[in-house]
């Protein structure tokens, strides 16, 4: 219990912004919004026109309601429909790791985490057998634009 109280004494919370400062950390700051915007920019490169939706949404609920329909079929459709949830989930996990474990993750690692989460989440879809995990990385543009279709997928 003393350890927990000592950790909590080293944290200051601000109401204005989702930010936490650690007294013992080197940079003392972690802003979810900064990572949120950058991560979206990275994962939406193949469909950069959708990035303005991220910038103009005032809430997660508004973003999810306004999320555009998928282009194409197959794996790309499923990945696109799950993408906002995977980004939110990944940011939540990374934020908690930063706050509670003082662990920093590179942007490249965050993108890998989003794609890995998506691959895992479509695991029960029978059509996934037509694709391989590398498709999430090597064919990201084709996936998000509905251009990657492999025979035997539904």
Burial class (CB in 10 A: 0-12, 13-18, 19+), 21: middle
Does a structural domain hold residue 95? Answer: yes
Q: In this predicted model, what pLDDT tens digit does every residue of 16-47 receive, in sequence order?
A: 555 555 443 355 555 556 667 788 888 999 88
What number is the average pLDDT over the span 53-68? 88
How many domains, the chain? 1
Which string of DSSP letters, residue by residue, matches the chain?
Answer: -HHHHHHHHTEEE-SSSSEEEETTSSS--EEHHHHHHHHHHHHTGGGGGGHHHHHH-SSHHHHHHHPPPPSSSHHHHHHHHHHHHHHHHHHHHHHHHHHHH-----HHHHHHHHHHHHHHHTTT-GGGGGS-TTHHHHTHHHHHTT----TT--
Does a structural domain hold residue 10? Answer: no
Does a structural domain hold residue 122? Answer: yes
Does a structural domain hold residue 153? Answer: no
Closest CA to 48 of 135, 149, 145: 145
Up-side HSE of residue 147: CA atoms within 13 Å toward CB?
9
Lowest pLDDT segment from 26-30, 54-58, 70-74: 26-30
Does a structural domain hold residue 78? Answer: yes
Q: Above 60 in pLDDT, residue 4?
A: no
Does a structural domain hold residue 151? Answer: no
% the chain with pLDDT above 90: 39
* Pairwise CA distance, residues 90 & 39, whole Å: 10
Does a structural domain hold residue 56? Answer: yes
Q: Any idea which residue has 């939110």 for tokens?
A: 88
* Pairwise CA distance, residues 117 & 87, whole Å: 9
Does a structural domain hold residue 45? Answer: yes
């Amino acid at each position: 219990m003393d350890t927990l109280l000592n950790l909590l004494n080293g944290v200051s919370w601000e109401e204005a912004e989702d930010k936490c400062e650690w007294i013992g950390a080197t940079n003392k700051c972690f802003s979810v919004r900064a990572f949120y915007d950058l991560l979206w920019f990275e994962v939406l490169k193949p469909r950069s026109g959708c990035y303005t939706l991220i910038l103009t949404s005032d809430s997660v609920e508004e973003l999810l309601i306004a999320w555009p329909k998928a282009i194409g079929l197959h794996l790309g459709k499923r990945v696109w429909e799950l993408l906002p949830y995977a980004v939110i989930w990944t940011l939540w996990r990374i934020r908690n790791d930063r706050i509670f474990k003082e662990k920093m993750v590179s942007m490249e690692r965050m993108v890998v985490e989003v794609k890995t989460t998506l691959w895992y989440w479509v695991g029960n879809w029978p059509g996934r057998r037509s694709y391989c995990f590398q498709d999430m990385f090597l064919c990201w543009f084709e996936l998000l634009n509905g251009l990657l279709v492999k025979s035997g997928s539904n």
